[in-house]
Amino acid sequence: MIKYLKKYCDILAPSGMEDALRTQIIKDIKDSGCTYNTDSVGNLIVFKQGKNRRNKKVLLSAHMDEVGFMITKIDDDGYLRFNMVGGIDRRVVSGKRIVFCESGIQGLVSSKSIHMQTPEERGKCEPLTEMYIDIGATSREQASKYVSIGDCAAFMPNYTELGNGLICSKAIDDRFGCAVLVAMINSQLEYDTYFAFNTCEEVGCDGAKVVAHFLQPDIVIALESTTAGDVAGIPENKCACKVGNGAVLSIMDRSTIYSKELLELAVSAAEEKNIKWQYKNVIAGGNEAGVYQRAAAGAKVLAISAPTRYIHSQSNIAALADMEAVAKLSAALNERSFD
């Protein structure tokens, strides 16, 4: 899993522009003996035959897209106005370097410097309408040679090992999930298994909706990143999970109540295999598991997540040990027949 992680984190793939990542994933699985296809909205759906058949259709799912930026206007002076693709806190945007997917052009998200602010403006986070992207152009005509309205960008790749087993990177959500699935596909499986690498999770789980109706799985295990609360200023009762405490199992979030049967099975597998795990202790967020639960004929769903600090920013921080715990727990569950 780890050998794929940096490669996937460094690829630019905001929602709706997952082509480069999908192409790389296909290169990494094409010799595994699996079958795969890409649907009309860009999802990559994979089937890998195991040593045994299952009575139920089991799907492991992760999303390919990351949060990003889309140009909405080019000013006369060459600055680019933009909007978010996905849920990004505007406080983590200004001053960040970005890269445009189509052209590879680099830019800087900027706003009025402190020296030019009024006393009333100082200490406040600028509204999005007052931020802009600077690519070094001095006119609309010059900027338009390199970018167009509708072009998308992502945070500049910055994968770094911090020490103590921690990594810092953009897009750990959910490139780590993709890396886990690819490693599983390239291994020998006990049972037949479906895998989905979905598009557009960050803007409404649109890809998962299509996969759910096409495959109609009975059981879905969604691999995700989730917000870690072990940061300064967060009281213990609001700390959803902690980096370093293992794989995260969710009981309920804002999109679904997870299958009690699958939760019990996951806890049992973790204890049996001595895999470090923790519950998500705050009801917050959501992911594509909720879509699978409600779409088509419905499905039993489980989410296994890696605790990640500063999610949806340029600098997510996660522990390799936690991601390995997710990979081991996912593999342990996939050894079950689910009959």
d(CA 305, CA 329): 10
Quote the CA–CA distance of 100 and 78 in Å, as a whole number. 16
Find all residues with CB under 8 Å of 80, minimum gap 6, and list them: 71, 73, 74, 107, 132, 133, 134, 135, 143, 147
Nearest CA-CA partner of 133 in 176, 99, 104, 160: 99
Helix (H) or strand (E) holding 68: strand 68-74
Question: What pLDDT is attached to residue 232?
Answer: 87
Q: Which residue has tokens 């999005």? A: 128
Please check whether the domain covering 2-66+170-334 is classified as CATH 3.40.630.10: yes
Q: What is the DSSP string of 279-330?
A: E--S-----THHHHHHSTT--EEEEEEEEEBTTTSS-EEEEHHHHHHHHHHH
- Which residues in the chain show pLDDT less than 70? 112, 115, 121, 123
- Domain 68-155 belongs to what topology? Elongation Factor Tu (Ef-tu); domain 3 (2.40.30)
Give me the pLDDT at residue 118, please: 72
Name every residue whose Cβ is closer than 8 Å to that of residue 124 and which is 6 or more positions away in sequence: none
Question: Catalytic: which of 18, 201, 288, 324?
Answer: 201
- Report d(CA 152, CA 128) in Å as an integer: 16
pLDDT at 42: 97
Task: Provide the 8-state DSSP code for 128.
Answer: G
Whether residue 202 lies in the annotated active site: no
pLDDT for residue 276: 98
Q: Which residues share a beta bridge with 300?
A: 219
Tens of pLDDT along 217-265? 999 999 999 999 899 888 888 888 999 999 999 999 988 999 999 999 9
Domain ranges of the chain: 2-66+170-334, 68-155
The string of DSSP letters for 237-289 reads GG----TTS-EEE-SB-SS-B--HHHHHHHHHHHHHHT--EEE--S-----TH
By CB atoms closer than 10 A (0-12, 13-18, 19+), residue 64 is buried
pTM for this prediction: 0.94
Phi, psi of 186 (to 5 degrees): -85, 5
Residues in Cβ contact with 307 at an 8 Å cutoff, skipping those fewer than 6 apart: 225, 226, 227, 228, 230, 240, 241, 242, 243, 244, 245, 248, 278, 318, 319, 322
Question: What pLDDT sits at residue 112?
Answer: 66
Domain 2-66+170-334 shares a fold with domain 68-155: no
Eight-class DSSP state of 105: -
* pLDDT value of residue 208: 96
